[in-house]
């Protein structure tokens, strides 16, 4: 067998091999590969009929479901690139992404009707058509029933090449302007092959998909799953907020793979009622996106006796590039290495001048790999900063991605992650640029200066921000929070604003952000309610 | 609405909600994004204090916490069991 060269081949080829094999299941149903292939073709033909062409960007704005899984593969099959949008994104954020990426067609669901109507009424987006949401005033709409009746027989799929655009993962940049990572069929498929090989994914495997589709690790279940002929459980959002229900779902599903950000592992260890769950079917627990807590991993290892645990590392710009299979339960305080590069990736550790550091010295990790993105959508300025050109043995020059992550390479070649070069932080696995939170806050009426920090709350992480009032202005903290929520994704919105007096200054006269952030971390008040809530005595 | 339901709606709207969506006793709090995982923990703490009970992690499930009505049902089952 020659194997696929496009992501859009994955489902069709899995269906040819074994049409009756389970493909995907969620709260809205279950499909075999034969059924998934047919549903994908119907939606792809529908999109083609709406004028979607090779290279177009189609937005996905729907909750996690079998329908969402179908939509990803249908957009690829239609020759377009899918742009997954946070299903909780407010209309203004959706409009910003749609405008930036030039999205005219969205696939959505009925739960988004009201938000879509607001989007249409705002007149601020290029979206002209929505599939799957039911009627929305101001937009052309195509119902699910119409998709079911699509004329697949007379639809001709467009020609697509492996370096055509396949998906754009959008993060919010430091100015709040969307930053789209362009991945091709080649980079996505290369990731799927390396992941399937590294973890030995088999047709009988059952992959538990926890990541939202706008988070890059979801490509493990979306691409490596069908490549291997494995099936995927798409976990609906409500389960991800209730660890006891989540653990029950995964136990009952007999899932064999788990892949998530460490935040969800902490939630499971802390509140997952694991002593009452049988998670013996799990054979791999993969985690990545931020640093994992050794205590949490030890707890989970006790409840998942047959699972191997592996730390995966790689900014979304390169999908993944290194891995570290844990040899056993980690000790308290032990930092988990990010490991060694996998097959088709190589790494170098460089200094500020982009020269190799001496062995064992700290430097920035740069990566060369087939899973690397093409570049940032419409942002040659960002490309120039992100890519480094280095010469290879034999005199060729190649493009490497500069991760911005500081690492040290041990004598045995294993990489240790030490932090960031910039102020980018992670909140529950999501990238947050604190400057972007601060600049949005400081742009609001009445606010003079803002400092944001990531703090620990209730065993989880969240953004906390302190603000100072403009002279003579009164602070309306609730109004400020609402305004921020309209511009930033939910995980970047501070859970609370703290009014601050005059800010401490550094010797050079700048705001001492480090001192303010340390102060905010002390104010996070773990374990106690965040705002005063009525106590039993106060409420009749 | 019972007193408990009224107070829970007020707690969620005033203290916990991440969006401006209207909240009623049968609103799905979790799918809509009104309540995030941190919000669930805060509601559990509030209920423990209000009712003077300990809520086991295994009880914090979709069946018991997806809506205010479900929380009120859960609370009444717990107080019946204690009586």
Predicted confidence band of residue A174 (pLDDT cuts 50, 70, 90): low
A237/B31 Cβ within 8 A: yes
User: Is A235 a residue whose pLDDT tops 80?
Assistant: yes
Say if residues A242 and B62 touch (Cβ distance below 8 Å): yes
Give yes or no for A236 touching B (CB within 8 A): yes
Residue with tokens 């899918």: A82
In DSSP notation, A387-439 reads EEEEE-TTS-EEEEEEEEEEEEE-TTS-EEEEEESSSEEEETTEEEEHHHHHH
Q: Is the dihedral of CA A107, A112, A115, A116 positive or negative?
A: positive
Query: Which residue bears the tokens 């998906």?
Result: A167
Q: Inter-chain contact A236–B52, Cβ cutoff 8 Å?
A: no
pLDDT at A178: 83
Greatest alpha-carbon pair distance for chain B in Å reads 38
Q: What integer is the mean pLDDT of A320-335? A: 95
> Which residue numbers in chain B have pLDDT < 50?
none
pLDDT for the residue numbered A534: 32
Residues of chain B found within 8 Å of residue A267, distances taken between Cβ atoms: 37
Query: Is B19 in CB contact (< 8 Å) with chain A?
Result: yes
Percent of chain A at pLDDT above 90?
72
Chain A: nearest CA to B69, how far in angstroms? 16
Looking up tokens 């592992």, which residue turns up?
A265
Q: Minimal Cα distance from B58: which residue of A?
A: A273
Residues β-bridged to residue A389? A399
Residue A397: burial class (beta carbons within 10 Å; 0-12, 13-18, 19+): exposed
* Positions of E strands within A37-96: 57-61, 81-84
Retrieve residue A478's tokens.
Answer: 């609730």
Alpha-carbon distance of A60 to A83, in angstroms, equals: 6
Chain B CB within 8 Å of residue A240 CB: yes
What are the tens digits of pLDDT across the range A54-103? 999 999 999 999 999 999 999 999 999 999 999 988 888 899 999 999 99
Scan for tokens 């509140």, then name that residue.
A271
What gap in Å lies between CA A60 and CA A58, rounded to an integer? Answer: 7
Q: Which H or E element spans position A111?
A: none
For residue A309, give the nearest of A320, A319, A298 by alpha carbon: A298
Check residue A533 and give its pLDDT.
32
| Residues A62, A71 contacting (CB under 8 angstroms) | yes
The SS3 call for residue A537 is coil
**Residue count of chain B:** 83
**CA–CA distance from B19 to each of A89, A171, A490, B29 (Å)?**
10, 21, 9, 10
Residue A312, class by beta-carbon neighbours within 10 Å (0-12 exposed, 13-18 middle, 19+ buried)?
Answer: buried
* Of A193, A252, A262, the residue nearest A226 (C-alpha): A193
A-B contacts (CB, under 8 Å): 90
- Tokens for A183, please give them: 């991945």
CB contact under 8 A, A241 and B30: yes
Whole-angstrom distance between the N-terminal and C-terminal Cα of chain B? 23
If we measure between CA atoms, which residue out of A15, A61, A59 comes closest to residue A40? A15
Q: Give the domains, in start order, of chain A with CATH numbers.
A: 7-240 (3.40.50.980), 340-420 (2.30.38.10), 425-529 (3.30.300.30)
Rounded to an integer, what distance in angstroms lies between the CA atom of residue A435 and that of residue A271? Answer: 32
pTM of the model: 0.88
Residue A301 exposed, middle or buried by CB count within 10 Å (0-12, 13-18, 19+): middle
Tokens found for residue A353:
């001048």
Supply the Cα-derived Rg of chain A in whole angstroms: 24
A 477-516 residues with CB below 8 A of B? Answer: 482, 485, 490, 493, 495
Query: What ipTM describes this predicted complex?
Result: 0.92
Report the pLDDT value the prediction gives residue A471, as an integer from 0 to 100.
84
Is pLDDT at A152 greater than 60 in this prediction? yes
Q: Which of A237, A244, A271 lies at the smallest CB-CB distance from B30?
A: A237
Residues of chain A with C-beta less than 8 angstroms from the C-beta of B32: 111
Mean pLDDT across chain A: 91
How far is the alpha carbon of A271 from chain B, nearest alpha carbon, in Å? Answer: 5
Least confident of A308-312, A384-388, A532-536: A532-536
């Amino acid at each position: 067998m020659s194997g696929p060269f496009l992501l859009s081949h994955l489902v069709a080829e899995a269906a040819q091999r074994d049409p009756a094999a389970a493909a995907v299941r969620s709260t809205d149903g279950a499909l075999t590969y034969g059924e998934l292939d047919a549903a994908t073709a119907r939606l792809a033909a529908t999109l083609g009929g709406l004028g979607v062409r090779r290279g177009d960007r189609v937005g996905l704005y729907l909750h996690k479901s079998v329908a969402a899984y179908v939509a990803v593969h249908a957009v690829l099959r239609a020759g377009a690139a899918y742009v997954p949008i946070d299903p909780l994104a407010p209309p203004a954020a959706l409009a910003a992404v749609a405008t930036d990426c030039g999205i005219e067609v969205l696939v959505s669901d009925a739960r988004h009707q009201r938000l879509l109507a607001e989007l249409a009424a705002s007149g601020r987006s290029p979206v002209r058509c929505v599939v799957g949401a039911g009627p929305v005033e101001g937009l052309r709409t195509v119902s699910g029933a119409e998709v079911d009746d699509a004329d697949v027989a007379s639809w001709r799929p467009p020609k697509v090449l492996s370096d055509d655009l396949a998906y754009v993962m959008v993060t919010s940049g430091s100015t709040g302007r969307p930053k789209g990572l362009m991945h091709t069929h080649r980079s996505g498929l290369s990731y799927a092959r390396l992941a399937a090989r590294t973890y030995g994914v088999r047709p009988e495997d059952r992959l538990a998909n926890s990541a939202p589709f706008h988070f890059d690790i979801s490509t493990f279940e979306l691409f490596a799953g069908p490549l291997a002929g494995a099936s995927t459980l798409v976990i609906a959002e409500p389960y991800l907020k209730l660890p006891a229900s989540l653990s029950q779902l995964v136990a009952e599903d007999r899932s064999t793979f788990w892949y998530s950000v460490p935040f969800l592992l902490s939630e499971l260890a802390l509140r997952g009622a694991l002593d009452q769950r049988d998670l013996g079917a799990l054979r791999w627990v993969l985690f990545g996106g931020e640093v994992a807590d050794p205590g949490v991993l030890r707890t989970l290892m006790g409840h998942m006796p047959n699972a191997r645990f592996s730390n995966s590392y790689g900014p979304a710009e390169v999908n993944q590039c290194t891995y570290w299979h844990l040899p056993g339960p980690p000790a308290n305080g032990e930092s988990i290495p990010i490991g060694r590069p996998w097959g088709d990736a190589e790494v170098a550790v460089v200094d500020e001048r982009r020269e190799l550091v001496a062995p064992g010295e700290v430097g920035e990790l740069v990566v060369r790999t087939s899973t690397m993105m093409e570049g940032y959508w419409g942002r040659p300025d960002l490309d120039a900063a992100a890519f480094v050109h280095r010469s290879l043995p034999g005199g060729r020059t190649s493009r490497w991605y500069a991760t911005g992550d500081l690492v040290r390479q041990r004598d045995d070649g294993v990489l240790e992650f030490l932090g960031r070069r910039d102020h980018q932080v992670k909140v529950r696995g999501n990238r947050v640029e604190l400057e972007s939170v601060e600049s949005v806050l400081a742009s609001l009426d009445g606010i003079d200066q803002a400092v944001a920090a990531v703090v620990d709350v209730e065993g989880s992480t969240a953004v906390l921000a302190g603000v100072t009032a403009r002279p003579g202005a009164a602070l309306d903290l609730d109004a400020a929070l609402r305004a921020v929520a309209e511009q930033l994704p939910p995980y970047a919105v501070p859970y609370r604003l703290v009014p601050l007096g005059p800010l401490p200054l550094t010797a050079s006269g700048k705001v001492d952000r480090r001192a303010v952030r340390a102060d905010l971390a002390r104010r996070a008040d773990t374990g106690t309610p965040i705002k005063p809530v009525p106590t039993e005595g106060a409420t009749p | 609405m019972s007193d408990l339901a009224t107070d829970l709606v007020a707690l969620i709207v005033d203290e916990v909600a991440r969006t401006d969506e209207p909240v009623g006793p049968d609103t799905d709090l979790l799918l809509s994004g009104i309540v995030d995982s941190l919000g669930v923990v805060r509601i559990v703490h509030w209920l423990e204090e209000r009712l003077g009970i300990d809520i086991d992690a295994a009880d914090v499930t979709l069946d018991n916490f997806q809506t205010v009505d479900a929380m009120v049902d859960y609370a009444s089952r717990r107080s019946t069991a204690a009586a």
